[in-house]
Amino acid sequence: MVSDVTNNPTSQYYKTASDLELRNFYAAKASINTNFSIPTIPPTIPKVYEGSVARFGKDTAELAVSHFQGVIQSFFVGLIGAKRILEIGTFTGTSAIYFASALKRNGVKGNPDDNGNKSVICLDISEEFAEIARDNFKEAGVEDYIDIIVGDAHESLASLEGQQFDVIFIDADKISYTAYFDAAIEKRLLAKGGLFIIDNTALRPAIQLIDCPAPLPKDKMPEEGMCDDFGAYHYFGRPIHEFNEYIRQDKRCEVVMLPIFTGVTLIRMLENN
Ligand SMILES: C[S@@+](CC[C@H](N)C(=O)[O-])C[C@H]1O[C@@H](n2cnc3c(N)ncnc32)[C@H](O)[C@@H]1O
């Protein structure tokens, strides 16, 4: 359940929300600094959630970043003085609106640079989602900041060679995380001092592989009691666990996984490697 922290929630919300949801809500609300002229939680975000739920069903609310994750990611944008952001996996635009609003708050201009590139480049495979996201960007007043490239991110990433980004947010199909990370490094898309933010790195099917080596043998089935859903293990658990092990062993990376939401991993590249 996504509560609207920009308004007072109903007493029904307080009664039915879990401890985790309440803590999330409380933390998001405590993160709103009323002195900012551009709010840390962009005012149209609740409408984006509502629109997605109305069109694609209530489970889709979980696809978008939560208010609290949005404000944390925005904080990183200001912290590292980011000017350009690449997002892989945009859905209806929630995280991109947070990123663009953070750039705006920090004085970054949205209009295209001399090469016609905007500050935030979003990649998504779905034209349907992209169309909705574009409307949501307009509604949020950040359409000048964001371009969406529609297509398979494996191909779109190759087309970005020559550009650089201060933040690269990976939140698309979980089976491709390692490929997206490798492509970003190989094409030198991350600027010096830049930050990778990777979503969903502690999804339940992955943490059930806590003691497994990686890469896992291709024919390996989950151990008894290790995983309650073979499908989830197969499609999410294995690739996410392998990605986590892959970057953990990469000497070029400093990695920290925040055990919040479904896991958010931060990666910065060491400069002497
Ligand atoms: C979890 S959602 C992204 C949520 C978004 N960051 C937000 O906060 O609202 C994942 C997105 O990845 C996109 N996606 C899945 N496979 C993809 C691929 N191969 N290339 C590009 N996008 C892909 C889906 O269409 C979906 O919109």
> Does any domain span residue 21?
no
Which is nearest to 193 in space by CA: 51, 81, 70?
81
> Does any domain span residue 203?
yes
- Residue 193 in contact with residue 80, Cβ under 8 Å? yes
Burial class (CB in 10 A: 0-12, 13-18, 19+), 6: middle
Domain ranges, residue 97? 38-269
pTM recorded for the entire structure: 0.93
Indicate the number of domains in the chain. 1
SS (H, E, C) 16-67: HCCHHHHHHHHHHHHCCCCCCCCCCCCCCHHHHHHHHHHHHCHHHHHCCCCH
Q: Report the nearest-CA residue for atom 6 of ligand 1.
A: 90
Q: Report the nearest-CA residue for atom 9 of ligand 1.
A: 64
155 SS3 class: helix
pLDDT at residue 225, rounded to an integer? 47
Beta-ladder partners of 249: none
Q: What is the DSSP string of 73-115?
A: HHHHHHHTT---EEEE--TTSHHHHHHHHHHHHTT---S--TT
Beta-ladder partners of 196: 168, 267
> Does any domain span residue 202?
yes
CATH number (domain holding residue 219): 3.40.50.150
> How much distance in Å is there from the Cα of 152 to the middle of ligand 1?
10
| Residue to mutate, 171, 175, 198, 200, ligand 1, most ligand atoms under 8 Å from C-beta | 171
Q: Report the nearest-CA residue for atom 5 of ligand 1.
A: 90
The ligand 1 site (C-beta within 6 Å) comprises 63-65, 89-92, 94-95, 123-126, 129, 152-153, 171-173
Tell me: the pLDDT tens digits for 208-234? 777 777 777 666 655 554 544 555 566
- Please state, rounded to an integer, the average pLDDT across all residues of the chain: 89
* Ligand 1 atom at minimal distance to the Cα of residue 70: 8
Tell me: the pLDDT tens digits for 12-46? 778 888 898 888 888 988 999 889 999 999 999 99
> Does any domain span residue 15?
no
Q: Report the nearest-CA residue for atom 19 of ligand 1.
A: 152
